[in-house]
């Protein structure tokens, strides 16, 4: 602003020049530069951390387990938490205070299901609440709050989603607030490849299916390869609505978040370090990206790796020490700081919006655990009882696996799919006696029966109505547990996929042995979902997953058709062996794994065949029959003419 003194001098000088009769000398132009205002980079002092902003404030708001008639429970173990959720009164809100460390061991389960439930808060007391190696699975739930917890090192591929927090729609009004959620970018196993390390853990917070009215705020997200996923695939098309605000993202690789379809609002976050990428808007998603601080990272805003691009609206963000790297043709990056779309959010959040130059210090001060007020702890949880350490299994050289001699006959275990698998007599054992599969349990309750007998010798398995349901049929003691190696196993399945682009079915075989302290399993996911379709062997090859006949490769298989799938397994030890995969009686294998370390079983004595759906995806299959034997690892040519008569369509195995 001009000063009054300077203005007076300028006016008086012009008057004097006007009174002079001679031509005046031109006055020297005076240039006045306004003072530079240094932005305030201090933290904003926040006094209210208990108000829900963002999409979780819509649809009636998110109150969780609060209310005058609420039930409050303090837990020290996962079993106590699972019991509190199972026993919840549907007419009363429930608040669970976490006073210690919840683990796989004290939960006696691989995850905490918040399923078919509403009006629940799970909150850590002080700084003591921790989820070590076990995460939350939120399914068909509404009005759920998770706050003030350290959630970390949740392993993938353990019959659980593998995320710190997994939200599977339909889900409504979820608030994830003031947590610290992390994994590790390294694994203490030098035998693993980089891809295996990346798949060792999964996401920190993921939302899939019809998940809406979600706010994720004041969390610390760090040490993660696959940080936050919104939409599981390019076909997971729902109008998801999520807000991320005041989170601290650091030492991560990508997915900050990866956002498919729907609408997102990302404001006042501090991003510090991302190896590959930041916010990835895909498949038509529109994201309002407002007053965030991005630092020390590559491609903080982009649209890559999908069939369709997504869009963003950029509003007053800071980009500090950023590297921009264009991707493949059709990709878009925000290197010109231009918006590609526009989103107006339906809620009022201005009271929580802080100046962008104060985002860094404010987020560093207030994100994470121990920042909110909770009741005092009633005391430390009792120390867990120490179990005697099991003796380590001696390391021995693998036993050579000799080729199996062709059989003259086979005593098959068989499921002809004339009945649903849980009906007495549905399974014929190798000795001719009858049995049936057993239903699995989830959180202490029987899983639903999603197998339907069609009356024509086939059974339909269908979890498309609710992909979050786990429904599995399990038969124990499917092979000899005598401690003798090598061991052999042959499995054949007559299956028809679906034309809806869904996954088909999961099959898992565990080769446990009472004489060993370790064992293996083979998990096969039959998939029909676009580019990801094929026969997926999860973690079967020294920890890596292998997909055969993949949808985006030259040898892609049409998984929607009826086929006979044939697997042979030969184990040289409890943990190592060979796997071969054949289809339709063709004696040339589709794929072979030789001398690999197999995926470990959950327990050394696990010895079972299991079919169905382990949860969090939609499956649909028509089962014609299932055959298996532990007498040998038999190729298709060895079995011509040896399949039971009248079992169903055995094309490729006739005489």
DSSP string, 409-425: ----EEE-SSS-TTSTT
Maximum average pLDDT range among 22-36, 99-113, 351-365, 465-479: 351-365
Least confident of 125-134, 291-300, 373-382, 492-501: 373-382
**Taking Cα atoms as reference points, which of 275, 277, 313, 310 lies closest to residue 292?**
313
- pLDDT of residue 393 exceeding 80: no
- pLDDT of residue 443 exceeding 90: no
| 295 catalytic residue (yes or no) | no
φ, ψ for residue 80 (rounded to 5)?
Answer: -65, -40
Per-residue model confidence (pLDDT) at position 7: 31
Terminal C-alpha separation, the chain: 99
Between residues 655 and 486, which one has the greater pLDDT?
486
- Could you identify the residue written with the tokens 């956002």? 259
**Taking Cα atoms as reference points, which of 170, 156, 118 lies closest to residue 618?**
170
Least confident of 21-25, 49-53, 135-139: 21-25
Rounded distance between C-alpha atoms, residue 540 and residue 534, angstroms: 15
Per-residue model confidence (pLDDT) at position 390: 46
Mean pLDDT of 298-303: 96
Q: Model confidence over 475-485: pLDDT tens digits?
A: 999 988 888 88
- Could you identify the residue written with the tokens 């008086």? 12
pLDDT band at 66 (very low <50, low <70, confident <90, very high): very high
- pLDDT of residue 21 exceeding 50: no
> Are 295 and 303 contacting, i.e. CB atoms less than 8 angstroms apart?
no
- Catalytic entry in 147, 212, 255, 503: 255
Q: How far is CA 299 from each of CA 219, 293, 316, 384, rounded to the nearest angstrom? A: 22, 13, 17, 46
DSSP letter assigned to residue 482: S
Rounded to 10 degrees, the C-alpha dihedral 620/624/628/632 comes to -110
- Could you identify the residue written with the tokens 């210090």? 361
Mean pLDDT of 622-651: 94
Which residues 6+ apart lie within 8 Å of 401 measured at CB?
486, 570, 571, 572, 577, 578
Mean pLDDT of 236-246: 97
Tokens found for residue 457: 């010798």
φ, ψ for residue 353 (rounded to 5)?
Answer: -80, 125
Least confident of 106-120, 399-413, 488-502: 399-413
Rounded distance between C-alpha atoms, residue 441 and residue 472, angstroms: 9
**Taking Cα atoms as reference points, which of 236, 244, 280 lies closest to residue 261?**
236
pTM of the model as a whole = 0.64
pLDDT band at 401 (very low <50, low <70, confident <90, very high): low
Residue 390: its H or E element: none
Residue 315: its H or E element: strand 311-315
**Taking Cα atoms as reference points, which of 408, 600, 640 lies closest to residue 516?**
600
Other beta carbons within 10 Å of 212: 24
> Are 404 and 633 contacting, i.e. CB atoms less than 8 angstroms apart?
yes
Rounded distance between C-alpha atoms, residue 323 and residue 71, angstroms: 51
Per-residue model confidence (pLDDT) at position 6: 32
Per-residue model confidence (pLDDT) at position 270: 98
Per-residue model confidence (pLDDT) at position 617: 79
Helices and strands (H and E) in the chain: how many? 5, 45
Other beta carbons within 10 Å of 626: 28
pLDDT band at 9 (very low <50, low <70, confident <90, very high): very low
> Are 485 and 393 contacting, i.e. CB atoms less than 8 angstroms apart?
no
- pLDDT of residue 164 exceeding 90: yes
Other beta carbons within 10 Å of 50: 10
Q: Model confidence over 223-234: pLDDT tens digits?
A: 999 999 999 889
Tokens found for residue 494: 């007559």
DSSP letter assigned to residue 237: -
**Taking Cα atoms as reference points, which of 167, 145, 293, 273 lies closest to residue 217?**
145
Per-residue model confidence (pLDDT) at position 159: 64
**Interstrand relation of 471-476 and 607-613 (parallel, antiparallel or unpaired):** antiparallel
Rounded distance between C-alpha atoms, residue 420 and residue 557, angstroms: 28
């Amino acid at each position: 602003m001009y000063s009054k003194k300077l203005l007076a001098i300028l006016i008086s000088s012009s008057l004097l020049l006007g009174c002079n009769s001679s031509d005046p000398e031109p006055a020297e132009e005076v240039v006045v530069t306004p003072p530079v205002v240094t932005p305030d980079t201090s933290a904003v002092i926040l006094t209210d951390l208990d108000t829900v902003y963002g999409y979780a404030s819509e649809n009636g708001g998110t109150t969780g387990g609060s209310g005058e008639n609420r039930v409050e429970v303090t837990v020290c173990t996962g079993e106590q938490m699972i019991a509190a959720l199972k026993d919840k009164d549907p007419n009363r809100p429930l608040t669970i205070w976490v006073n210690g460390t919840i683990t796989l061991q004290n939960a006696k389960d691989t995850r905490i299901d918040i399923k078919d439930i509403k009006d629940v808060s799970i909150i850590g007391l002080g700084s003591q609440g921790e989820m070590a190696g076990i995460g939350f699975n939120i399914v068909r739930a509404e009005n759920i709050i998770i706050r003030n917890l350290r959630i970390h090192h949740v392993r993938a591929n353990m019959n659980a989603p593998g995320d710190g927090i997994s939200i599977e729609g339909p889900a409504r009004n979820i608030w994830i607030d003031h947590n610290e959620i992390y994994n590790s970018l390294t694994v203490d196993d030098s035998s693993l490849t980089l891809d295996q390390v990346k798949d060792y853990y999964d996401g920190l917070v993921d939302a899939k299916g019809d998940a809406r009215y979600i706010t994720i705020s004041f969390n610390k997200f760090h040490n993660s390869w696959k940080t936050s996923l919104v939409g599981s695939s390019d076909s997971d098309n729902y109008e998801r609505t999520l807000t991320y605000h005041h989170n601290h993202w650091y030492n991560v690789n990508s997915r900050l978040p990866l956002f498919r379809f729907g609408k997102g609002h990302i404001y006042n976050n501090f991003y510090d370090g991302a190896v590959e990428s930041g916010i990835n808007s895909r498949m038509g998603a529109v994201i309002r990206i407002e007053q965030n601080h991005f630092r020390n990272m590559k491609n903080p805003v982009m649209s890559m790796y999908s069939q369709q691009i997504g869009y963003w609206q950029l509003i007053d963000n800071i980009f500090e020490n950023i590297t921009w790297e264009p991707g493949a043709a059709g990709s878009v990056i925000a290197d010109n700081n231009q918006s590609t779309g526009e989103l107006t959010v339906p809620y009022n959040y201005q009271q929580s919006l802080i100046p962008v130059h104060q985002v860094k210090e404010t987020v560093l001060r207030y994100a994470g655990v121990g920042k909110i007020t909770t009741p005092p702890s009633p005391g430390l949880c009792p120390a867990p009882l120490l179990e005697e350490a099991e003796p380590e299994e001696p390391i021995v050289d693998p036993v050579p696996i000799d080729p199996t001699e062709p059989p003259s006959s086979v005593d098959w275990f068989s499921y002809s799919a004339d009945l649903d698998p849980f009906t007495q007599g549905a399974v014929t054992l190798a000795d001719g006696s009858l049995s049936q599969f057993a239903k699995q349990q989830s959180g202490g309750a029987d899983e639903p029966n999603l197998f339907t007998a069609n009356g024509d010798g086939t059974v339909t398995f269908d979890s498309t109505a609710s992909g979050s349901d786990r429904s599995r049929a399990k038969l124990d003691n499917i092979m000899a547990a005598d401690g003798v190696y090598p061991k052999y196993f042959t499995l054949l399945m007559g299956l028809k996929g679906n034309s809806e682009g869904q996954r088909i079915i999961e099959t898992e075989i565990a080769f446990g042995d009472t004489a060993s302290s370790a064992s293996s399993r083979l998990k096969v996911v039959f998939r029909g979902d676009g580019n990801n379709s094929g026969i997926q062997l999860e973690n079967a090859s020294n920890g890596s997953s292998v997909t055969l006949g993949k949808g985006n490769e030259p040898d892609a298989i049409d998984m929607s058709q009826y086929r006979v799938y044939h697997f042979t397994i030969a184990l040289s030890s409890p943990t190592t062996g060979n796997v071969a995969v054949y289809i339709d009686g063709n004696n040339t294998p589709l794929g072979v794994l030789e001398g690999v370390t197999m995926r470990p079983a959950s327990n050394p004595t696990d010895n079972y065949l299991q079919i169905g759906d382990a949860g969090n995806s939609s499956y649909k299959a028509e089962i014609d029959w299932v055959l298996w034997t532990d007498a040998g690892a038999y190729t298709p040519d060895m079995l011509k003419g040896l399949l039971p008569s009248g079992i169903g369509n055995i094309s490729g195995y006739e005489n």
